[in-house]
Chains A and B, each alone.
Chain A
């Protein structure tokens, strides 16, 4: 499955937050979005996951066009901006509630995903007592737990220490085979470490595309 973004423009209050974006994303790769705060990285992610509607252009996912053939991509997991969960429930309970909507995975699979991001699945502490790093890890677990074909992670390394970043790198490499993984990060070094290809975004435009060696 590929994502083909053609002439994508999004205008909000007269400003082009995304400006004529043309990129093709293929399965099996980790794509990085680089750019300053407010450059349009998160907006592009929101557009790919169907939360915002393009002013013009289209996003083709596989055989279908987003917003025409489906409102949201058929198989997607996201972590957009800060992870947000119900503060009074544990990490496991939060993920269980979300997973219960599609009912695709069982408790053991949820627990394994929580373990894979370095958290304890039987930790009964409520989410509000989690550290920033733990919240971030839980957000990543939520995005990947149902094995979606597209994974969008907005600033996944926020609040993670070096070992956390290494763990996420290994995790993404392990799961990328038949998936498209898109991550955004304002730290160039971390993004180089995590990605196979990088798109540099500035003022809503893709101004550079590099392969990471």
Chain B
């Protein structure tokens, strides 16, 4: 009975949360279509006629290599990567706090447990992130199909990379951006409940820009830039470390949020 109450509440959250993001998903679709088109153009210039789904995916989420401030080369913000992160940050921006002060009060008195509210928002967060990556995957799939190579193989020739890894690189390429986005968006959701959605957005974007400048395991934005993975000779981020840190960030954000939400007075912040 209690489980079904939670399931019904979760269903409501997914329905309202995903519906409220329709425009932002459409924006993400436009962005990935544009990026796919740009990659296709670059391929034709390089006289490559086909490219796999994974190559498209890599193109979207490659970010930039490790920046060395002492090199004298000016730092260039990785705009493509930042725009993707901005769209993801917008997707998780305000549904939880808006829900809390609109229909959320009606929901809370009906589900009777604050922990249900927070848990449901965490699941909504996961689903929201997975959806945007699904949009990216579908775009990659369609464009690679047009080019006649529907496969998950990764060919590093086009990107001029050297692999330092013998195992399957595919897992890293697909897992790291998704897992890191979930971790960052969990922190963002926590800050939006602690402070305000707009603060959480600004903090996350600043953090990501700093992540693109400094390569450090503490700055987890680095984990979602594939070029910074140590599986390539230009990268420094160890896959196992990144997965462990991401998972810990997700778990701690969920626990801190639960702890906080169970105790907080629900009064609209001025």
Contact = CB atoms under 8 A, between A and B. Distances in A.
A163 to B, nearest CB: 26
Contacts, number: 68
B21 to A, nearest CB: 13
B112 A52 contact: no
B265 A98 contact: no
A37 interface: no
B105 to A, nearest CB: 6
Contact of A98 (B15, B110, B266): B110
A103 B114 CA distance: 19
B207 interface: no
Given A101-B9, A101-B12, A51 B108 contact: yes
B103 A70 contact: no
Closest 7 pairs (CB-CB, A-B)? A84-B102, A52-B265, A51-B266, A101-B110, A72-B112, A98-B106, A72-B109
B265 A102 contact: no
Contact of B16 (A51, A86, A103): A86
B265 A71 contact: no
Contacts of A51: 105, 108, 265-267
Nearest to B15: A97
Nearest to A12: B265
Contact of A71 (B5, B102, B114): B114
Interface in A92-116: 94, 97-98, 100-103
A179 to B, nearest CB: 15
A157 B55 CA distance: 62
B1 to A, nearest CB: 10
Q: How large is the interface on A (under 10, 10 to 19, 20 to 34, 35 or more residues)?
A: 20 to 34
A37 to B, nearest CB: 15
Contacts of B101: 84
Interface residues of B, number: 25
A78 B263 contact: no
Contacts of A73: 109
A46 interface: yes
A3 interface: no
A202 B79 CA distance: 56
B267 A98 contact: no
A50 B103 CA distance: 16
B125 to A, nearest CB: 19
B108 A72 contact: yes
Given A85-B103, A86-B16, 13 more contacts: A46-B266, A51-B265, A52-B266, A71-B113, A72-B108, A72-B113, A76-B109, A78-B109, A84-B103, A84-B105, A101-B12, A101-B111, A142-B106
B107 interface: yes
Contacts of B112: 70-72, 74
B65 to A, nearest CB: 44
A146 B16 CA distance: 21
A52 B267 CA distance: 8
Nearest to B265: A52
B92 to A, nearest CB: 18
Among B107, B267, B268, the one with the most A-chain Cβ atoms within 10 Å of its Cβ is: B267
Contacts of B268: 81
Contacts of B103: 84-86, 94, 97-98
A128 interface: no
